Amino acid sequence: MGTFTSTRKLDLSSSPPIFVLPTHLQPEEQHETEDKIYQAGGHITYDAKEARLFIGRVAQKKRAAFDLRAKGVWTDEAALPEHDPSGSHADGVEAEGPARKKVRLSTSTRGRRATSSTASASSEGSRRENQPSDVVWPDLSNHVLVVKLAWLEASIKEGYLVPYKPYIVYTARIVPKPDGQSTPTTSPTQPAHLKAGSSSSSQRRTSKPDVASILERAKAEAATLPAPRRRWDDHGRHANTSPTQHKRPQLHRQTTSEMEYLSTHPLPPLPEWATGPNATYSSCRSTFLHPPNEAFISQLTKIKEARLLRLDDIGVRAYSTSIASISAYPHHIAHPEEITRLPGCDQKIATLWREWQDSADTDAERTIPIVNDLDAEPDIQGLRLFWNIWGVGPDTARKFYFEHGWRELDDVVEFGWKSLTRVQQIGVKYYEEFLQKIPREEVELIRDVVLRHARRVLNIPESKYGTHEDVDCVIVGGYRRGKAFSGDVDVVLSHRDENKTKDLVGDVVGSLEEEGWVTHTLTLHTTTSDRGQATLPYRAKPHGGHGFDSLDKALCVWQDPNFEDDVEEGDGGGEEEAEKPRKKNPNIHRRVDIIISSWRTVGCAILGWSGGTTFQRDIRRYVAKVHGLKFDSSGVRNRGNGHVLDLEAPRPKNDPEVVKMLLQGERVERGDERWKGVEWDDKDTWEDRERRLMDGLGIGYRPATERCTG
């Protein structure tokens, strides 16, 4: 924390009980912050359950809610109660001065406060006279307020309470702790509150903070914290909704036999990617579909999915990083120390591996106990049931299960059908069919049909098939990464003539519907065509869609219209045969996404739709941090000036200065005198454009079969 100076003395006596969140604060910073609040007359509490105002170095709502939950405070996001100017107030709230409300403190605190009220009245009154701003606290009896540390810093600097609303991170109402949860206990050595005006506080407020007391307080607080590896607790114990997740794995201790093993079986060398400057970015290394440690990774994936269903974004990211790192490791793991050496992996993952390794004799039989508990947990089973509905995410699945109390798909149909979106209704209707995976041969047949209709609506003559005047249709997604079966089919359509890709998605889908291949068009976006097929602006409003995608696309329900009817020629004869209805189409329904990209950025579109989720995330992280760029499936922009960069176009070969020029936004044209006599990389297929893009971004090209991060 910085040093604050002010000509006025800040008065926090009107504030609700305050708790300082330790996230992103060093212990010294946390204790310094607490002392400043204490010296200003604030109601510091070390029991988060009693606090109503939380101050910390957090900026995201989800992180704030997570930190409160980690301290045993369970909340639902909600607006703060409106202030009642009449002076009436709810139970548990005291009014101080005109139009002022304050949360009532605990019994012990009220007692201390009463004994010192007379002594402190005059000093408080004088401070209020010097306070230009009269901050009115809302009724926080059943609500909490999380503000940025900057609010306290600004208030101390100014010498009075500055308005807190610009610094709000999270507002919520307090809810009961869910069944099966355990929360941390507070230290019995800590008082519930330290309130200015008590006999002890009056002594401290007239002198410098007692260093010894600060150290004692730090020791007492440390006694309540988990073992040093707190990250596991933050991702596991506090974020769970199941008592099965509260079992902390025993830390592995190296035995003499293991030490002897290591002396005769040294650990394999770390791959180059694990020690380089880009070790934390999965987009800068090769990750294959079937890695040596696939069985163990499948267990970690189940834990990650449970974190996802519990809305634990931090845990999801942590497990995603660990899974991507282990997936890229080229050796079969034989010792837990191999894991702790990998970026993004810690002792928690190594301990899980030891539990998995010791559970059985073969990889096929091995499991992690915590995964067995998850598989048997009714809540997780119910959430997964709803999560598998097309169009239902983790948030909605939790509403179905916890808020509405639904347990089966029939409950959704009976009690909530009218509240579902069209996508969700179709997801319920074809639930079992959508769960069936699509073999590669069928994916290719669907691609061929889409390509045929694209050629039809663009009037591509057969003589031009396979030439630069033809339309390209590329299968992306899991198919391109080499999966034997896919959950859905994603195809990207593009043409070198930009006029032909504008509004193409509607024409193609209409043609497919007319012939019976598409039975339902659930969403049809023309966002790229609407903005003239330009790259998405740097500061664009969030757009709902697939990942970081903003292209023209259609989400369709697909069914092969061709099937053998049981009506045979001559059966019944004449008009009776003609009137006999055809039987219902028995072919399975599939999910198909048709994406349209202009040729200028086709490499971005195909790259953006081809990698695993973590691979895509790390591309964005890498180019933002290393080059200051924004990448999405519609193109690349400079974050500083918003300029579009063309990293896909043909350019001179083997010239490192070219990439520098491109990243700076300069144009590289064949007619430039600088490139006389230089060989050009002027091939212009979508594969070439994707390769040049990856090289230009600095992540290096690798085929899609090496982007399987999960």
Q: What is the pLDDT of residue 434?
A: 97
Quick check: is 240 in a domain?
Answer: no
Residues 397, 503 within the same domain = no
Residues 623, 596 within the same domain = no
Pairing of strands 644-645, 635-638: antiparallel
Q: Which of 195, 225, 255 is the last residue of a domain?
A: 225
541: CATH: 3.30.460.10
Quick check: is 10 in a domain?
Answer: no
Min mean pLDDT across 48-62, 200-214, 350-364, 543-557 is at: 200-214
Quick check: is 465 in a domain?
Answer: yes
State percent of the chain over pLDDT 90: 53
Of residues 186 and 151, more confidently modeled:
151
Q: What is the pLDDT of residue 592?
A: 97
**Domains in the chain, number:** 5
pLDDT at 83 over 80: no
Residues 66, 182 within the same domain = yes
Pairing of strands 143-148, 53-56: parallel
What's the pLDDT band for 625 if we cut at 50, 70, 90? very high
Quick check: is 143 in a domain?
Answer: yes
Spatial separation of the C-alpha atoms in residues 651 and 17, rounded to whole Å? 63
Residues 295, 322 within the same domain = yes
Q: What is the pLDDT of residue 667?
A: 78
Q: What is the pLDDT of residue 255?
A: 56
Min mean pLDDT across 15-29, 164-178, 333-347, 535-549 is at: 535-549
What's the pTM value of the predicted model, to 2 decimals? 0.66
Q: What angle do CA 624, 625, 627 make, to 5 degrees?
A: 70
Q: Which of 163, 190, 225 is the last residue of a domain?
A: 225
Spatial separation of the C-alpha atoms in residues 277 and 245, rounded to whole Å? 35
Spatial separation of the C-alpha atoms in residues 222 and 643, rounded to whole Å? 50
Q: By the 8 A CB rule, do 197 and 85 touch?
A: no
Cβ-count burial of 462 within 10 angstroms (0-12 exposed, 13-18 middle, 19+ buried)?
exposed
Quick check: is 420 in a domain?
Answer: yes
Residues 429, 443 within the same domain = no
Residues 498, 597 within the same domain = yes
Q: What is the pLDDT of residue 603?
A: 96
394: CATH: 1.10.150.20
Q: What angle do CA 540, 545, 551 make, to 5 degrees?
A: 70
Q: By the 8 A CB rule, do 10 and 124 touch?
A: no
298: CATH: 1.10.150.110
- For tokens 């519930």, the residue is 192
Quick check: is 391 in a domain?
Answer: yes
DSSP state of 707: B
What's the pLDDT band for 597 if we cut at 50, 70, 90? very high
Quick check: is 570 in a domain?
Answer: no
Q: What is the pLDDT of residue 576?
A: 56
Spatial separation of the C-alpha atoms in residues 306 and 317, rounded to whole Å? 12
Residues 256, 212 within the same domain = no
Cβ neighbours of 376 (radius 10 Å): 11
Helix (H) / strand (E) element for 194: namely strand 193-194
Residues 546, 679 within the same domain = no
pLDDT at 218 over 90: no
Residues 587, 495 within the same domain = yes
What's the pLDDT band for 117 if we cut at 50, 70, 90? very low
What's the pLDDT band for 87 if we cut at 50, 70, 90? very low
Q: What is the pLDDT of residue 279?
A: 94
Cβ neighbours of 605 (radius 10 Å): 30
Q: By the 8 A CB rule, do 346 and 318 touch?
A: no
Each residue's pLDDT tens digit, 313-334: 889 999 999 999 999 999 999 9
Q: What is the pLDDT of residue 174?
A: 92
Min mean pLDDT across 71-80, 196-205, 277-286 is at: 196-205
Quick check: is 468 in a domain?
Answer: yes
Q: What is the pLDDT of residue 258?
A: 61
Round the average pLDDT of the chain to a whole number and report it: 80
Find the mean pLDDT for residues 105-122. 38
Question: Which structural domain range is residue 675 located in?
Answer: 613-706
Residues 101, 159 within the same domain = yes
Between helix 369-376 and helix 347-358 the angle, nearest 10°, is 80
What's the pLDDT band for 29 if we cut at 50, 70, 90? confident
Residues 208, 262 within the same domain = no
Min mean pLDDT across 22-31, 189-198, 486-495, 636-645 is at: 189-198
Residues 185, 111 within the same domain = yes
Q: By the 8 A CB rule, do 599 and 500 touch?
A: no
Q: What is the pLDDT of residue 31?
A: 83
Q: Which of 225, 256, 279 is the last residue of a domain?
A: 225
pLDDT at 382 over 80: yes
Between helix 294-309 and helix 347-358 the angle, nearest 10°, is 120
Min mean pLDDT across 163-167, 188-192, 306-310 is at: 188-192
